Amino acid sequence: MTHILLIILTVSIADHQTKDFEFEIPYSNRGECIEASKEIDFSSIITGNIINTKSECIALNYKEI
């Protein structure tokens, strides 16, 4: 595992309350992570509620002992 796909899901309810949820998915290479991040970004309005996602690939920097 060399990269983490960080997904932030934001839900805004009609009375202006906002809640963020974070998800982390491991990937073995940068290419797969970038491709997955392109498929996840979206926004939608459902009956006055807003759902928005943002994603980012993060490289893991660590030394094996």
Q: Please say whether the beta carbons of 1 and 59 come within 8 A.
A: no
Q: How confident is the model at residue 30 (pLDDT cuts 50, 70, 90)?
A: very high
The owner of tokens 């459902």 is 46
Q: How confident is the model at residue 64 (pLDDT cuts 50, 70, 90)?
A: very low
Q: Is the pLDDT of residue 46 over 90?
A: no
DSSP designation for 48:
T
Cα–Cα dist 52/8, whole Å:
8
The owner of tokens 């960080």 is 6
The pLDDT score that the predictor gives to residue 62 is: 58
Amino acid at residue number 38: K
Q: Is the pLDDT of residue 26 over 70?
A: yes
Across the range 21-43, mean pLDDT stands at 91
Q: Give percent of the chain above pLDDT 90.
A: 58
